[in-house]
Amino acid sequence: MKVPVSITVNGKQYDKMVEPRMLLVYFIREELALTGTHIGCDTSSCGACTVHLDGKALKSCSMLAVQASGKSVTTIEGMASGENLHPLQEGFHMEHGLQCGFCTPGMIMCAADMLKNNPNPTEEEIRHGLEGNFCRCTGYHNIVKSIQYAANKMQESA
| Same domain, yes or no: 14 and 68 | yes
Strand bridging mode 3-9 / 12-18: antiparallel
CA 105 to chain centre: 5
Residues of the chain with pLDDT under 70: none
**Residue span of the structural domain in which 11 resides:** 3-78
Q: What is the pLDDT of residue 32?
A: 98
| Same domain, yes or no: 99 and 71 | no
Domain boundary pick from 78, 106, 125: 78
| Same domain, yes or no: 8 and 70 | yes
DSSP 62: G
| Same domain, yes or no: 66 and 116 | no
| Residue pair 4/15 in contact by the 8 Å Cβ criterion | yes
Total tally of structural domains belonging to the chain: 2
Strand bridging mode 72-74 / 50-53: antiparallel
| Same domain, yes or no: 141 and 103 | yes
Q: What is the pLDDT of residue 27?
A: 98
pTM of the model: 0.95
What does the pLDDT look like over 21-67, one tens digit per residue? 999 999 999 999 999 999 998 788 999 999 999 999 999 999 999 99
| Same domain, yes or no: 50 and 100 | no
Domain boundary pick from 78, 108, 137: 78
State how far the Cα of 91 lies from the Cα of 30, in Å rounded to an integer: 29
- The SS3 of residue 47 is coil
